[in-house]
């Protein structure tokens, strides 16, 4: 079955850029989206169709997808961005989520 692999953790200083990767076989041939999940809360969609932002999501969130890797970039990271992030794609008629990355803002 299809798998999406993310680094378990990413640390970033406030105001700096955080990059979170999501790796899967030929992921660039599919569309990826990204969710943010804060402790005790539901996931929130932050990026869809590789690079589109839903209404209300700050411009500091951006995405790209090519080859085997999709990337979520948080520019000018703020303390409020500390959360778990999950990528997601569609493969073989099912939604597949990545393993998740904990972003810590130090």
Partner 1 sequence: QVQLQESGPGLVKPSQTLSLTCTVSGGSISSGGYYWSWIRQHPGKGLEWIGYIYYSGSTYYNPSLKSRVTISVDTSKNQFSLKLSSVTAADTAVYYCARTTSGYGDYRMDYWGQGTLVTVSS
Residues that bind partner 1 (CB under 8 A): 1, 31, 33, 35, 41-45, 48-49, 54, 86, 88-90, 93-100
- Give min distance, CB of 73 to partner 1, in A: 18
Q: How far is the CB of 82 from partner 1 (least distance, A)?
A: 17
Specify the residue, 17 or 104, whose C-beta has the smaller distance to partner 1. Answer: 104
Minimum distance from CB of 65 to partner 1 (Å)?
12
Cα–Cα distances in angstroms (integers) from residue 21 to residues 27, 40, 94, in the given order: 11, 24, 21
Q: How far is the CB of 63 from partner 1 (least distance, A)?
A: 12
The CA-based diameter of the chain, rounded to the nearest angstrom, is 39
Nearer to partner 1, 16 or 85 (CB): 85
Q: Which is nearer to partner 1, 42 or 59 (CB)?
A: 42
């Amino acid at each position: 079955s299809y798998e999406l692999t993310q680094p378990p953790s990413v640390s970033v200083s406030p105001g700096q850029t955080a990059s979170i990767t999501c790796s899967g076989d030929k992921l660039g041939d599919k569309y990826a989206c990204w969710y943010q999940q804060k402790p005790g809360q539901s996931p929130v969609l932050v990026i869809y169709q590789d690079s589109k932002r839903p209404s209300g999501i700050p411009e500091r969130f951006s995405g790209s997808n090519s080859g085997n890797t999709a990337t979520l970039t948080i520019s000018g990271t703020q303390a409020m961005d500390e959360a778990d992030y999950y990528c997601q794609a569609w493969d073989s008629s099912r939604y597949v989520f990545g393993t998740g990355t904990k972003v810590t803002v130090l």
